[in-house]
Amino acid sequence: MKTVGFIGGMSWESTVTYYKIVNEIVKQKLGGLHSAKVLLYSADFAEIEKCQAEGDWDKSADILSEAAENLEKAGADFIVICTNTMHKVAPQIQNKIGIPVIHIAEATADELKFRNITKVALLGTKYTMTQDFYKGKLESAGITVLIPDEPGIETVNDIIYNELCLGIISESSKEKYLCIIDSLEEQGAQGVILGCTEIGLLIQQKDVKLPVFDTTQIHASKTAKLSIENES
């Protein structure tokens, strides 16, 4: 079994979900008392969010690259960044280590292609929705990406940082998200990507008519399968 190197803490709530999913799949596939081999570096999210707000992506890349280097030294076989937004610095992290970074957008693109989705709504932080580091991976796979209008982007982003990252789950915020998803469906979206690891705490498949692609579930599932791919 391979050892997973998690870079988590952004937020810690979603990191817990990664840990849970990976262990559940390993147990299901291997049976008995099997559990995943995991190393976790849990970042201080306040430090990372400050870098995001100030646009200091180089500093955040340095922080997370050091985390990845330490995980590699500790014996990790590959790195999993347990958040969508910080994949913006995935190339810098990859350049500092000799083990692969498993990219969340590539895992999501693979799942969308498997489900024959060619036009998809993307919800996430404002960085994930508007910048190419994430959308570009999907578009290069031949998938058209739809995002909310400017007020919608601000609404989605504010709820992530001011509620979901603090563990606050609000019914009124869920309704706002559902209205935004409905408007993107009217524009032709065939599915919706929950492109922030916290959104799955608020929106589930039972809430939405469109197929929901929870990136935490997709990324964690791929992580589990990679960790046991040579196990009987």
* Strand 3-8 to 37-42 pairing: parallel
CA-to-CA distance for 224 and 29, rounded, in angstroms? 9
For 43-84, give the DSSP string: --HHHHHHHHHHT-HHHHHHHHHHHHHHHHHHT-SEEEES-S
**Active-site residue, 179 included:** no
Catalytic pick from 83, 108, 125, 223?
Answer: 83
Which helix (H) or strand (E) segment holds residue 113: the answer is helix 104-114
Cβ atoms 87, 134 nearer than 8 A? yes
Catalytic pick from 15, 85, 196, 215?
Answer: 196
C-beta atoms surrounding 68 within 10 Å: 23
Distances (CA, A) of 99 to 70, 72, 116: 12, 7, 31
C-beta atoms surrounding 217 within 10 Å: 17
Question: What angle is formed at CA 11 by the lines to CA 153 and CA 196, rounded to 5 degrees?
Answer: 35
**Active-site residue, 83 included:** yes
Active site residues: 83, 196
